[in-house]
Amino acid sequence: MKRRVFLKHSIALILMMVTLCCLLVVIVTVLKLPDASTKNSEMVLYPKIRSRKIPHDFKLSKLGDMMLEMLPHDLAFTVFVPSEEAFKRDLRLDSSDGLKPDKYNDTYAIVSRVLGFSAVPRSIHSDSVKHGELVNYESLSGFSLYISKDIDGMLVVNRVRSEMVDFKRDEIVVHVMDGVIMDADFEQSVLSDETEED
């Protein structure tokens, strides 16, 4: 009989100790939390990042202009144009060298291929993509584009982040990207061309 009473008391003691430990953890956690600022009514979880909307006097690179000239300007398109640095870094295309008469055809072929991967036959503004949402569109070449919005409102397309968004040229919406949107086969052919040149 004493053994049963002892077991009942020991179980109650263990439950009380666990409860006290949990209560102690909650109290310590609450006491160590930083105070919320009352100066500002809004709590900022992330640092403010400057807006990357395209200024009114912005001009695309010559290669970007070449991409847009391939499309009809009276129809709605969205084009994810690589920046000048992305053309140089990812495709080894430089507008000063690639637009010379002896290299123009090769440059035109590469840029038109990139256009096929990065143009969508509809208007997609950065405001039309909601935070936390992943939308899927097919490009002109049938390549799947997965578009989302990051924390500061910039579009991310197939893991390529935009530098500037919502530039309008006639009916075409242009987003300047920090990389080149392309499929694996084209990327492999670009990489193989680089190794041959080295």
DSSP string, 92-132: ---HHHHTSTTTHHHHHHHHHHHHHHHEESS---GGGSPTT
Give the rounded percent of residues in the chain with a pLDDT score beyond 70: 79
Number of other residues whose CB lies within 10 A of the CB of residue 151 = 10
Please tell me which of 33-47, 84-98, 170-184 the model is most confident about, judged by mean pLDDT.
170-184
Q: State the pLDDT confidence band at 41, using cuts at 50, 70 and 90.
A: very low
Q: How far is Cα 190 from Cα 181, in angstroms, rounded to an integer?
A: 13
- pLDDT per position as a tens digit, 81-127: 999 999 999 988 887 776 778 888 888 999 999 999 999 999 999 99
Distance CA 127, CA 134 (A): 13
Asked whether the predicted pLDDT for residue 180 surpasses 70, the reply is yes
- pTM metric for this prediction: 0.69
- Pull the structure tokens for residue 194: 């680089």
Q: What confidence category does residue 8 fall into, taking pLDDT thresholds of 50, 70 and 90? A: low
Where residue 174 falls among pLDDT bands split at 50, 70, 90?
very high
